Structure 1
Amino acid sequence: MKLIIHYLKNYKKMFLLNVVSVLGFALVELGIPTIVAQMIDNGVNRGDPAYIWKMGLVIAAISFAGVAGTVLLGYCCAYLSTSVTRDIRNDIFKKTQEFSHSEFHEFGIASLITRTGNDAFQIQMFMNILLRTALMTPVMMIGSIFLVLRASLSLSVVILATIPLIVGGVILVARISEPISESQQSSLEDINRISKENLSGIRVIRAFTNDEYEKKRFDGANSSYMGNSKKLFKLMSVTQPVFFLLMNLAGMVIYWIASIMLSEGTLQIGELVAFMDYLFHVMFSIMLFCLVFMMYPKAAVSAGRIQKIFDADPSIKNPETNVQPLDHIDDIVFDHVDFVYPDGEEAVLKDVSFSVKRGETIAFIGSTGSGKSTLINLIPRAYDVSAGRVLMNGKDIRTYDLESLRRAIGFIPQKAMLFSGTIADNLRFGKKDATMEELVQAAKTAQAYDFIMEKGGFEEHITESATNVSGGQRQRLSIARALIRRPDVYVFDDSFSALDFKTDAKLRHMLKKETGNAIVMVVAQRISSIMEADQIIVLNEGSIVGTGTHKELLENCRIYREIALSQLSEEELSHA
C-alpha cells in the first residue's frame, strides 16, 4: 500500500474526483431503495398516482446521476491505475539504468523483466479494483447498516451475525493465498528466464540436438506456474460460493422473520423491500471487500518485489560530496590494483600497476581467464577496485562525475551489441547530433562503409539481435559508433576477433590516424593486432608477468613468446 500511496500523491485532483464520484454513486444506490419504500407505502398502498409519478421522476433523475457517477468512477479508476503503473515502470527502468553489473547479477535479467511487466500489471489490476471499492465499500457498508438498523432492529441482528463469518473467511483466504502468489511469481520468472535463454541460444540448442531437454526444462517451469495458478483458482472458486451461501442463508432467515413481523403488523411491505435492498448493498459491499482482500496478497507480493528494486543501493555511483567534472583525460594509472568479484572469493586481479598517457597505445594479452576484460571494465567503472586505485589526471576515478567519466570513454565491448533500428541510429548512439559526413568517415575508418552501401545505405534496418549482419560486421559497426564520439580514451575489448587478417590490418592502419591524440587500450588474443602497441602487458592468472614492446617481450617474457610461437611464423618472428 505504501508504494501505491506514494504514486497516488502525484494525482491528487484526479483522486479527489474519484472520491466525489464514489460518494455520488453511494448516495444514488442507497437513496433509490428509500424512495421506492416511500412510493410503495405512501403511493401504492394509499392509491395515490400523483405521488407515484412524483417519486418515479425523482428515481429517474437519481438514476441518471448514478449513471454519470458510475462512468466518472470508471474513468477515474482507469486513469489512476494506468498512470500509476506507467510511472512505476518508468521508475523501475530509470533505477535499473543506475545499476552496476553486480546488481544485474543479483536480480537477474529475467527477474527484472518480470517485475517491470507482470508485477506492475498485478498492481494495476489491484489498483483498479481498489479505487472502485476502497472508498465505496466502507461508505456503502456504513450507510447500508445505518439504514438497516433504522428500518428494523430485529432483522438487522441476522446481518450483523453474518458479517464476522464472512470477514473471518476473507482473512483466512488471504493468509493461505499469499505464499502461493509468491511462488507463482517465482515460477513466472523461471518461464521468462528459460524462454530468453532458449530464444537467444536456439542455434546452439539445435546444434547439440537438445530440443527435447529444453522442452522438458520449460515444461517443468510452466507446470510449476500452472500448479500454483490452479491452487489460487481453486481457492477463489471455493470461496465465492461459500460467501454467497452465507448471504442466501441470511436472506432466508430474514424472510422468515419478516413474514412473522408482517403478519403481526410491525413491518410494512415497503420497509421490507427497502430492507432487502439495503441487505443486498451490505452483502455486496462485503463481497467487494472480499475481492479486494483476496487480491491484496498477490499485489502485496508484486509491490514488495518492485520495492526491492527501488531499495537497492547501486554499488557504483557518484561520490556524495566533492564530485569532480572530467573534461579531458591526459593519463591513466593503475596503482597496485586488486579486484574480487562481489560474489567471488579469490582475487581476479592482483597488484596490477601500469600507466599510459595521451597519444599512447597499451595492449593486454594473456590466456583465457587471465583478467584482461575485467581490468578494462574498471576504467568506465563497470566495477570498482577492491584494493588500490585507478587514477585519471592524478585523481581517483571514484571522485569524478560518473556520466562525464563514461562520456570521455569510447568502449567497444567484447560482444558487439547493436540495437533494432537503422544503421544510422546505431552509429548516432555514440553522438546523437552526428552529421552524415561524420557517419561516413567513421564507417570508412572502421572498414564498414562498403558493406553498409551493399546493404542499402545508412537507413538499412538492423533487426532484433542484429541477425541480419555478421559477427565481423557487428564489430565494425561498434567500432564506428565509438569513433563518432571522438573520446579521450578508446577501449577495445577483443574487438577485432571476428575480423579477417586483411580487414584487421586495414582497420588498425586507419585507426592510427583517428586515435593519434587519444589513449588507446586494446585487449587482444591475436598478437598481430597489438605488435605495434607502445606498451604490451602480459597477464597470467590476474597478475602482470611481462611489460614492454613486442620485441622486448619476445626476448624477456616466456608466456608471451609461447603465444607468439603458436600464432606467428618463424619469418614473422625473425622480423620482430
Structure 2
Amino acid sequence: MELMWRYTVKYKKLVFLNFLYVFGFILIELGLPTLLAQLINKGLMFNDYDVVAYYGTWMIVISIIGLIGLIGLAYTVSKITTRIVRDIRNDIFEKVQSFSHKEYNEFGVSSLVTRTTNDAFQIMVFMQMVLRIGMMTPLMFIASFIMIIRTSPSLSYVVLIAVPFLIGIVYFIGKRSAPLSNKQQINLDEINLNLRENLTGLRVIRAFVKEKFQESRFYQVNDSYMIVSKKLFKLMALAMPTFSIIFNCIFVVVIWLGAIEINNGDLQVGSLIAFIEYIFHALFSFMMFANIFTMYPRAAVSARRIEEVLNTEPSITENENGVTETETHGYLTFENVTFAYPGDTEEPVIKNVSFTVKPGETAAFIGSTGSGKSSLIQLIPRFYDVTKGRILVDGVDVREYKLSALRQKIGYIPQKALLFTGTITDNMLYGKSDADIEEIEEASDISQSKDFILRKPNKFDEFLSEGGSNMSGGQKQRLSIARAIIKKPDIYVFDDSFSALDYQTDSKLRARLKLETKKAAVLIVAQRVGTIMHADNIIVLNKGIVVAQGTHEELLKKSDVYYDIASSQLSKEELA
C-alpha cells in the first residue's frame, strides 16, 4: 500500500474532493430510508397525503443531489487513478532508461514490459476500488450500524452475530489468493516472453518449419496461466454466493423477528422497512469492502514488482559532478583492462588488454567468434564497467566523466543495426537533434545511403516501420552509420557495422569515412579482413587476450592467428 498511497497523496485536493463526495453520498443514502420511514409512519399510516407529498418531494431532491454526487465521485476517482498510473509508468520508464545492461539482463525485457503495463493497470483498478468504495464503505458501515441500533436495538444483535462469519470468509479468500496472484503475474511474464520471441523470430521459425513447435510452447505457457487464473477466479467468485447466503439468512431472521415486534406494538412498519434498508447498506458495504481485501493480494504483488524496479540502483550512474569538458579530443587508451560480466563465475572475457588510438588513427579488432571483440568496445561508452584496469578518453578515466558527456563524445554503431519507428529524417536527428537538411544530406552521402533514400517515394520523409523492417540489412547499417556521422563525435565505434555491405559499397564508405574522421579516433570490429586491412593498428584477439597487434603487413608475417583468418578470405596475390 505504501507505493499506492505515495502516488495518491500527490493529488491531495482531488482526494479531499473525493472524500466530500463520498461523505455526501453516505448522508443521502442513509437519509432516504429515514425519510421513507417517516413517510410511511406519519403519512401512509394516517392517510395524510400532505405529509406523503412533503417527504416524497424531499426524497426526490435528495436523489437528484445523490446522482450529482455519484457523477462527481466517478470524475474524481477517474482523474486520480489515471494520473497515478501515468506517474507510475513514467517513473518506471525513467528508471529503466537509467539501467545498465546488467539490470536489463536481471529483469528481462518481457518482465519490464509487463511491470510497466499490466502491473501498473492492476494498481489503477485497485485504487479505483479504494477511492470509490474503500473510502465509502467503512463510513457507510459505521453510519448504517448506528442507525440500526437507533431504530431497533433488539434486532441489531442479528447483524453482530453475522459479522465474524463475514470476516472469516474475507481472511480465507485473501490468504489463498496471494500466492495465486504472484504465480499469475509470473506466468504473464512468460507469455510475453514467448510471444516476443515468436514475433521477432518469425522468419527463422518459418524457415525451419517450426510453427507447430512454437504453437505447442505457447499453448503450454498459456494453459499454465489459464489454470492459475481459473483457480484465482474461482476463489474470488466464492465470495459473492457465500455473502448472499448469509445476507438472505439475516434478512429472513430480521423480517421474522420484526413482524413479531410489529404485532406486539414495539415497532412500526416504516421503521422495519428503514431497518432493512440500513441492514442492506451495512452488509453491502461490508461485502464491497471485502472485495477490496480479496483484490489486495493481486495489487500487492503488482506493487511489489514495480517497487523492485524503482528501488533497483543502476550499477552505472550518471555521476552528476563528473567531467564534461576536456582540452584534447579523440584520444583513447586501454590500460591493462580486464572484464568479466557481472555475476558471471567464469573466466573474464577480456584479459589485460592495452592499446592506444589517437585522432586520425584507426584501430581494428579481429578474432574468432567469442573472442571478446564486441565486449571490449562496449566498455568505452560504459555499457559495462571494467573489472580491472582503466579506459581513458582524452586522458580522463571514463568512470570520472558525467555519463551523458562521455557518450556525447562517442558515435556508436551497434552490431545489429536498429532504426526507430518514424521517418528517415527522424532517425538521423537521433544523432543531432538540431541538424539541418544540409547536414542530413551530407551524412547520408558519406554513409552511401543517399542514393537509395532519393529513390524512395518520400525521400528523407520515408516512413520506417518498427525496427526499420521495411529496409534491407545493408540499408539499415548505412542509415545507422549516417546517424553517427551527423553527430561528429570524437571517437567512432563500429561494431561489425559493415557486415551487410557489398565490397564495392564497403570500399566507398571506408574511403569517405577516412576523410570525415581525420580528427577522430576510429575503432572497427570486423570479421572481414578486407574491411580492416588498411587500419593503422589491427588488434588480434583470441579468448579475450591480445595475441598480436600491428598493421596488416606486419601481422601477416608475425601472427599465425591473423594469417589463418586472412588466408581464408584473401587470394594468394593479396597475401603476398
Tell me, yes or no, whether TM beats 0.5: yes
Task: Render the CA deviation track for 1:121-175: whole Å, top value 9, x for unaligned.
Answer: 1111111111101110111001000000111111110101111211111111011
**Secondary structure at the residue paired with 1:539?**
strand
Which amino acid in 2 is paired with 1:501? Y
Which residue of the partner structure matches residue 355 of structure 1?
356
Could you tell me how far apart the structure 1 residues matched to 2:254 and 2:265 are? Answer: 16
Query: 1:166-565 maps to which residues of 2 (within 5 A)?
Result: 166-319=166-319, 322-326=321-325, 329-345=329-345, 346-456=347-457, 457-565=459-567
**Distance in structure 1 (CA, Å) of the matches to 2:207 and 2:573:** 39
Matching residue's letter, 2:426: D
The TM-score normalised by the length of structure 1 is 0.98
Shift of 1:78: 0.9
Q: C-alpha distance in 2, partners of 1:244/1:53?
A: 35
What's the secondary structure of 1:335's corresponding residue?
strand
1:247 aligned counterpart, secondary structure: helix
Q: 5+ unaligned residues in a row in structure 2: which ranges? A: none
Q: CA RMSD in A?
A: 1.1
* Corresponding position of 2:55: 55
* Aligned counterparts of 1:225 and 1:515: Cα–Cα separation in 2: 54
Q: Match of 1:66? A: 66
Answer yes or no: is the 8 Å Cα contact 1:536–1:548 preserved in 2.
yes
Deviation of 1:393 (Å) = 2.5
CA contact (8 A) 1:358 1:519 kept: yes
CA contact (8 A) 1:326 1:405 kept: no
Distance in 1 (alpha carbons) for counterparts of 2:385 and 2:546: 19
Q: For the Cα contact (< 8 Å) 2:323–2:405, is it kept in 1?
A: no
In 1, the alpha carbon distance for the partners of 2:376 and 2:236 equals: 55
CA contact (8 A) 1:318 1:399 kept: no
So what's the TM-score if we normalise by structure 2?
0.98
SS at match of 1:16: helix
CA offsets per residue over residues 376-396 of structure 1, 9 Å max, x none?
000000000111111123221
Structure 2 match to 1:30: 30
Which amino acid is the alignment partner of residue 141 of structure 1?
F
Could you tell me how far 1:329 is from its partner in structure 2? 3.3
* Structure 1 residues without counterparts, runs of 5 or longer: none
The answer to whether the 8 A contact 1:190-1:221 is kept is yes
Q: Deviations over 1:501-552 (max 9, x none)?
A: 1110000000011111111111111111111111111110001111111111
Aligned counterparts of 2:267 and 2:9: Cα–Cα separation in 1: 48
2:405 and 2:147 map into 1 onto residues whose CA distance is 67
2:450 maps to a residue whose letter is: Y
Please list the CA deviations of residues 71-91 of structure 1 after superposition, one character each: whole Å capped at 9, or x if unmatched: 000111111111100111111
8 Å CA contact retained: 2:378, 2:384: yes
* In structure 2, distance between residues paired with 1:209 and 1:153: 76
What are the superposed Cα offsets for residues 79-126 of structure 1, whole Å, 9 maximum, x if unpaired?
111110011111111110001111111000110111111111111111
- Report the AA paired with residue 246 of structure 1: I
| 8 Å CA contact 2:330, 2:519 repeated in 1 | no
Deviation at 1:343, TM superposition (A): 3.0
**C-alpha offsets along residues 477-497 of structure 1, whole Å, 9 cap, x if unaligned?**
000000011111100000000
1:319: how far off? Answer: 3.5
Aligned equivalent of 1:6: 6
- State the identity as a percent: 51
Are positions 1:91 and 2:91 aligned together? yes
Q: How many Å separate the matches in 1 of 2:312 and 2:160?
A: 47
Query: Does the CA-based 8 Å contact 2:138-2:286 persist in structure 1?
Result: no
Is the contact made by 1:326 and 1:401 (CA closer than 8 Å) also made in structure 2?
no
Count residues in correspondence: 573
SS in 2 for 1:27: helix
CA contact (8 A) 1:417 1:478 kept: yes
Given that 1:371 and 1:541 are in contact with CA atoms closer than 8 Å, whether structure 2 keeps it comes out as yes
| Aligned-residue offset at 1:334 | 1.0
Q: What do the CA deviations read for 1:448-499 (whole angstroms, capped 9, x no partner)?
A: 0111111221111111232211101110000000001111110000000011
CA separation in 2, counterparts of 1:26 and 1:521? Answer: 71
Equivalent in the alignment of 2:149: 149
Task: Indicate if the aligned counterparts of 2:187 and 2:225 stay in contact, CA closer than 8 A.
Answer: yes
